[in-house]
Structure formats: structure tokens, C-alpha cells
């Protein structure tokens, strides 16, 4: 099956006429983000003590693992012109289920299987609401996030926000150890998530359909593509990525904190990564390089501001302004056309 254009309608011929990739308007945002990331690295290295060290590089990698994994899930959803506002709630629910299982005496493997089945079920519910009940993705996943958070806090935490993990448990220690000397398990999980996302988007029929859905959902459905089945896959994929990220975060901190859902900062960071990387919210374009680019910028920016003792509130303001600038730049570089306007929104 001929795959849809990764860069939107009509971009293939435009790219063939370009003398170099950066001369294509659609790649300008990625180029700008790359230059900004490099500039930040140089500035922080020269002005912030301890930034340009091997130890801090390791910190940046480990701290960005969960963000990269979550972005893999969100990117696939957004490329299909969807949106998953429940991804952080699913992440916390997965970590809570895993912690509850190992506290009940299950081994790590059994706990992971039970947790995986539960999270896949959550992803399928989200997908069914969107694909078959035909609810807007934004409203369906927002309601799902509220229901999941309330249910888990009531049923497991009895109204509390925090669930501690037994760090001495081998099932937890396995997630915080090194697979090889100098190669933490969380880094391997991040690389595996990135690789799996690349394979899904570039080497499967489902990936071709995901791009077709994002480019023009109505045309994809009317042409007979199995958009409902692929929608099921998309939201299950996002849920599995959320589970992986939840295991990374909870094992590193030794706790599951439901305030991660209620304060909204991590969800904001995930959307920021995807948009900054060059994946438009109206879908149809983007890939692994965009995810890596967005994660790199946010990881460097967040680490540098933390070392400079910038408060969380100021960091949120700066990231908000960066997101607004990225959306404005995307709309300027890739203006809506008639086809885009008539294809529907999230």
C-alpha cells in the first residue's frame, strides 16, 4: 500500500524541488529548535557550574527517560490527529497497580503481566469511546483521566496522594539497576520505546494508516481503511507507553504521587515536547526525529533552569511562552489549507 506523505498533502513534490532539507519551510521549525538547543547547551556550559559534566549528562538522560517514553505514546496519538489527556493518569494508575501487586507478594514478572493487562484494558476503553462511541478524543480522555484518578485514590489510597514503593524489593531494584556497567535499565527502556515507535510508524501498515488518518481522517475512512481498529491500537499504544514511564518514575523516586496528575505539569511537558519537535497538533506529520528533538530541548532547558535555581513557577512561565512561540511558528510555517480546515479538529 502506498504510504501517505509524512509531511502533509503536496509536500513530496515541494521537498523534491528543494536543494536542501532546511530550505523546505516545513523543516524550518526543526532547524530552529536544533539551533536553540545547541545555543542553550553552549550558554549553560559557559555560565552554569556543573552543567557540562559527565555526571550531569547522566542526570539529563535519566531524567528525560520518562518524558521521552510518554512522548512516544503522545506523538503517535497526535500524528493520527487525536489527543490523549489521560496519559499521565494512566501512568500513575499503572505504577500504582504494579506497586500493589508486589506488595501483595507477587514476583516482578507476574506483577508486570497483571499490570500490563489492566493498562491495556484502560487503553481499549479510551479507544472504544473514541472509535466506536465517536466521542471527541479530548473529552473522552479528559473524562477517563478524572475517572481513573478518582477510582484509584478511593479504592487503593483511601483518599491519600502518595503510595510508597518498597525499594528493597527485587522487582523495584531491577528497574533502578544497570543492565550493563554504565547502562541503566531506564535508559534501555527509553531506547526501546523510541525504537518501537520508529518501527510502528515506518515499518508497519498500521503506521501508514496512522499518517493517513492524521492527514485526512474522513478520506481515510471513506477509502475503506480500518481506522477504528487502528484507533484501538493507537490508544493502547499510548497506555503501554504510559505504563513504562510510570515504572521508570516510581522506581526512581520510590513512590507513586497522584499529584503528578492533578498539577498538570508533566502532561504540559509531554505536549510541549511533541509540538516543539515539529509534530503539529492537527496531525499527519512527524516521526522519531521530532520526538528526540523536542525531548532534547526540554531536557536541556529544564536541567539548566534547575541548576540555576529557577523556581518551578518561573519555569512553567518560560515553558508556556516557548509552547506559544512553537505553535505560532508552526501555524506561520505550515498555514492551514482548505483540505485541513474541512478535515475536522480534535
Contacts of 312 (CB under 8 A, 6+ apart): 265
The grid coordinates listed for 201 are 510508524
pLDDT at residue 334, rounded to an integer: 65
pLDDT at residue 16, rounded to an integer: 30
pLDDT at residue 272, rounded to an integer: 87
Distance, CA of 25 to CA of 168 (rounded, Å): 53
pLDDT at residue 244, rounded to an integer: 96
pLDDT at residue 337, rounded to an integer: 53
526525529: which residue's cell? 289
Q: Does residue 219 sit within a domain?
A: yes
Q: Does residue 231 sit within a domain?
A: yes
SS (H, E, C) the chain: CCCCCCECCCHHHHHHHCCCHHHCHHHHHHHHHHHHHHHHHHHHHHHCCCCCCHHHHHHHHHHHHHHHHHHHHHHHHHHCCCCCCCHHHHHHHHHHHHHHHHHCCCCHHHHHHHHHHHHHHHHHHHHHHHHCCCCCHHHHHHHHHHHHHHHHHHHCCCCCCEEECCCCCHHHHHHHCEEECCEEHHHHHHHHHHHHHHHHHHHCHHHHHHHHHHHCHHHHHHCCCCHHHHHHHHHHHHHHHHHHHHHHHHHHHCEEECHHHHHCHHHHHHHHHHHHHCCCCCCCECCHHHHHHHHHHHHHHHHHHHHCCCCHHHHHHHHHHHHHHHHHHHHHHCCCCHHHHHCCCC
Spans of the chain below 50 pLDDT: 1-24, 338-346
pLDDT digits (tens, 9 = 90+) for 267-315: 988 998 998 888 888 888 889 999 999 999 999 998 999 999 888 888 8
Distances (CA, A) of 299 to 190, 293, 295, 333: 14, 10, 6, 25
The grid coordinates listed for 279 are 509534530
Q: Does residue 50 sit within a domain?
A: no
Q: Does residue 167 sit within a domain?
A: yes
pLDDT at residue 344, rounded to an integer: 44
Number of domains in the chain: 1
Distance, CA of 293 to CA of 316 (rounded, Å): 20
Q: Does residue 226 sit within a domain?
A: yes
Q: Does residue 238 sit within a domain?
A: yes
Q: Does residue 116 sit within a domain?
A: yes
Give me the domain span that covers residue 122: 55-262
pLDDT at residue 157, rounded to an integer: 75
Q: Does residue 176 sit within a domain?
A: yes
Q: How many CB atoms sit inside 10 A of residue 338's CB?
A: 7
477517563: which residue's cell? 144
Q: Are 114 and 97 in contact (CB under 8 A)?
A: yes
Distances (CA, A) of 164 to 87, 157, 159, 311, 318: 21, 10, 14, 26, 32
pLDDT at residue 335, rounded to an integer: 65
Chain centroid to Cα 149, Å, comes to 19
pLDDT at residue 251, rounded to an integer: 87
Amino acid at each position: 500500500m502506498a504510504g501517505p506523505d509524512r509531511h502533509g498533502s503536496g509536500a513530496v513534490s515541494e521537498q523534491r524541488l528543494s536543494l536542501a532539507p532546511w530550505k523546505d519551510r516545513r523543516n524550518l521549525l526543526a532547524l530552529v529548535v536544533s539551533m536553540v538547543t545547541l545555543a542553550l547547551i553552549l550558554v549553560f556550559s559557559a555560565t552554569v557550574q556543573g552543567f557540562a559534566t559527565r555526571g550531569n549528562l547522566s542526570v539529563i538522560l535519566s531524567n528525560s527517560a520518562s518524558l521521552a517514553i510518554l512522548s512516544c505514546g503522545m506523538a503517535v496519538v497526535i500524528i493520527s490527529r487525536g489527543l490523549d489527556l489521560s496519559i499521565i493518569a494512566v501512568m500513575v494508575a499503572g505504577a500504582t497497580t504494579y506497586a500493589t501487586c508486589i506488595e501483595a507478594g507477587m514476583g516482578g514478572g507476574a506483577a508486570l503481566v497483571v499490570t500490563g493487562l489492566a493498562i491495556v484494558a484502560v487503553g481499549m476503553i479510551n479507544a472504544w469511546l473514541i472509535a466506536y462511541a465517536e466521542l471527541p478524543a479530548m473529552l473522552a480522555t479528559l473524562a477517563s483521566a478524572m475517572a481513573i484518578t478518582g477510582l484509584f485514590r478511593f479504592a487503593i489510597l483511601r483518599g491519600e496522594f502518595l503510595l510508597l514503593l518498597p525499594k528493597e524489593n527485587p522487582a523495584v531494584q531491577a528497574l533502578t539497576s544497570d543492565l550493563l556497567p554504565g547502562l541503566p535499565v531506564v535508559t534501555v527502556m527509553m531506547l526501546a520505546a523510541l525504537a518501537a515507535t520508529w518501527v510502528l510508524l515506518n515499518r508497519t501498515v498500521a503506521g501508514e494508516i496512522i499518517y493517513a488518518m492524521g492527514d485526512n481522517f474522513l478520506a481515510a475512512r471513506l477509502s475503506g481503511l480500518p481506522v477504528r481498529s487502528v484507533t484501538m491500537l493507537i490508544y493502547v499504544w499510548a497506555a503501554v507507553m504510559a505504563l513504562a514511564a510510570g515504572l521508570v518514575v516510581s522506581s526512581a523516586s520510590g513512590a507513586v504521587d497522584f499529584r503528578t496528575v492533578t498539577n498538570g505539569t508533566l502532561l504540559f511537558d509531554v505536549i510541549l515536547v511533541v509540538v516543539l519537535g515539529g509534530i503539529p497538533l492537527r496531525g499527519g506529520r512527524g516521526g522519531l526525529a521530532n520526538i528526540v528533538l523536542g525531548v532534547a530541548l526540554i531536557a536541556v532547558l529544564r536541567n539548566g533552569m534547575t541548576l540555576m535555581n529557577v523556581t518551578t513557577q518561573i519555569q512553567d512561565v518560560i515553558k508556556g511562552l516557548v509552547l506559544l512561540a512553537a505553535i505560532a511558528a508552526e501555524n506561520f510555517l505550515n498555514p492551514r489549507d482548505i483540505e485541513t480546515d474541512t478535515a475536522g479538529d480534535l
